[in-house]
């Protein structure tokens, strides 16, 4: 009989009730076999599969699983909260931009009106001044003609 088929070796290869219950990868931590390997490498001691020390690993793996579930729940809640707050922020920014656009548009229209009104007033003043200058030139021409007629008559 080879050593592989010996009853002691077959007994060691069979999973313990704890390993059967937890499966290959309990929770998010290390498997019991990985823990036994780490302990063996670090301390030169191979823990038996049914060593009570492995209960601590089981408890810690269960704890890590619960922490992972809690973290996942918090991530989902935080994602939802951030999405809501981001939507509110974007809505607020959009409202501010719309209000600013409206006030800038009305300010621009008012500014253009003011420029046109100022220009119209300047043109009105210019027209009045040109009309006054035309009246003065016309009066001057009539006065010159009257002077020449009076000089010629004398």
Q: Is residue 81 part of a domain?
A: yes
Query: What is the tens place of the pLDDT at every residue in 107-116?
Result: 777 888 888 8
- DSSP state for residue 81 in the 8-state scheme: H
Q: Which residue range is the domain that position 81 belongs to?
A: 16-153
Distance of alpha carbon 144 from alpha carbon 62, whole angstroms:
120
Q: Is residue 48 part of a domain?
A: yes
Query: What is the tens place of the pLDDT at every residue in 47-77?
Result: 898 888 888 888 888 888 888 889 999 999 9
Report the domain count for the chain.
1
Q: Give the residue carrying structure tokens 């063996």.
A: 40
Q: Is residue 10 part of a domain?
A: no
């Amino acid at each position: 009989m080879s050593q592989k088929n010996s009853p002691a070796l077959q007994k060691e290869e069979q999973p313990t009730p704890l390993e059967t219950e937890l499966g290959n990868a309990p929770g998010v931590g290390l498997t019991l076999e990985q823990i036994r390997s780490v302990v063996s490498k670090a301390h030169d001691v191979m823990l038996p599969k049914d060593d009570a020390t492995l209960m601590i690993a089981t408890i810690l793996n269960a704890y890590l699983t619960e922490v992972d579930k809690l973290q996942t729940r918090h991530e989902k809640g935080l994602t939802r909260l951030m999405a809501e707050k981001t939507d509110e922020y974007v809505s607020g920014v959009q409202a501010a931009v719309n209000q600013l656009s409206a006030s800038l548009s009305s300010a621009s229209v008012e500014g253009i009106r003011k420029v046109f009104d100022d220009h119209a007033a300047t043109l009105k003043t210019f027209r009045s001044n040109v009309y006054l200058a035309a009246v003065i030139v016309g009066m001057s021409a009539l006065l010159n003609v009257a002077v020449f007629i009076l000089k010629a008559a004398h």
